[in-house]
Amino acid sequence: MKTISFKLEIFEGPLDLLMHLIQKNKVNIYDIPIAEITDQYLAYLNHMSEMDLELTSEFLVMAAHLLYIKSKMLLPKYTETEEEENDSDPRQELVDKLLEYKKYKAISKYLDERQNIYKNIAFKKPDKIEIQIDNADLKKLSVDDLIKAFNNIVIRNDRIAPPPKESFEGIIGREKISIDEKAKEILQTLTRKGRVLFLDIFKYVHSKAEIVARFLAILELIKSNQVLAIQQENSDKIYIYYSKMVR
The amino acid sitting at 210 is: E
Q: Per-10-residue mean pLDDT for the chain, 247 residues long?
A: 53 87 89 91 84 74 91 72 61 92 90 83 69 52 70 64 51 68 90 86 81 88 87 76 75
What's the confidence (pLDDT) of residue 175?
Answer: 64
What's the confidence (pLDDT) of residue 38?
Answer: 92
What SS3 state is found at 157? helix
What's the confidence (pLDDT) of residue 1?
Answer: 46
Picking from 227, 218, 235, the residue whose alpha carbon sits closest to that of residue 139 is 235
Report the phi/psi class of residue 204: left, alpha or beta, with left for phi > 0 and alpha for psi in -120 to 50. Answer: left
What's the confidence (pLDDT) of residue 160?
Answer: 53
Q: What does each C-alpha distance from 205 to 72, 100, 236 come to in angstroms?
A: 82, 60, 20
Q: Which domains does the chain have, with CATH numbers?
A: 14-118 (no CATH), 138-245 (1.10.10.580)
What's the confidence (pLDDT) of residue 150?
Answer: 74
What's the confidence (pLDDT) of residue 4?
Answer: 52
What's the confidence (pLDDT) of residue 56?
Answer: 74
